[in-house]
């Protein structure tokens, strides 16, 4: 059995940001995702696609966004 504070379904951008925020609150997370890579569909299917609705970025490539979230 896994002992954790939060279970996060999906390791896409929202899941990665949730992990970051939970860490600030000293909560332990467990992430579940069907895709073997971190980054969800953005990293797996659309890494070279431009995204235009991320605050602070007029345009950012999906793969670059995930790389920055991983850091």
**Per-residue model confidence as pLDDT tens digits over 26-66:** 999 999 999 888 998 888 889 999 999 888 889 999 999 99
How many domains does the chain fold into? 1
pLDDT score for 56: 87
Q: Check whether 2 has a pLDDT greater than 80.
A: no
CB-based burial label for 31 (10 Å; 0-12, 13-18, 19+): middle
Instruction: Dig out the tokens for 54 from the structure.
Output: 């991320």
Please indicate, yes or no, if residue 60 is contained in any of the structural domains.
yes
Q: 46: which DSSP letter?
A: -
Q: Check whether 4 has a pLDDT greater than 90.
A: yes
Domain span at residue 47?
Answer: 6-70
Please indicate, yes or no, if residue 27 is contained in any of the structural domains.
yes
Angle ∠(58,62,68) on CA atoms, nearest 5:
85
Instruction: Dig out the tokens for 9 from the structure.
Output: 């379904």
Please indicate, yes or no, if residue 1 is contained in any of the structural domains.
no
pLDDT score for 26: 96
Q: 60: which DSSP letter?
A: E
């Amino acid at each position: 059995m896994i002992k954790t504070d939060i279970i996060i379904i999906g390791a896409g951008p929202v899941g990665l940001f949730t992990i970051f925020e939970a860490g600030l609150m000293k909560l332990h997370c467990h992430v579940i995702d069907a895709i073997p890579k971190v980054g969800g569909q953005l990293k797996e299917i659309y890494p070279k696609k431009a995204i235009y609705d991320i605050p602070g970025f007029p345009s950012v490539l999906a793969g670059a966004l995930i790389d920055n979230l991983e850091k």
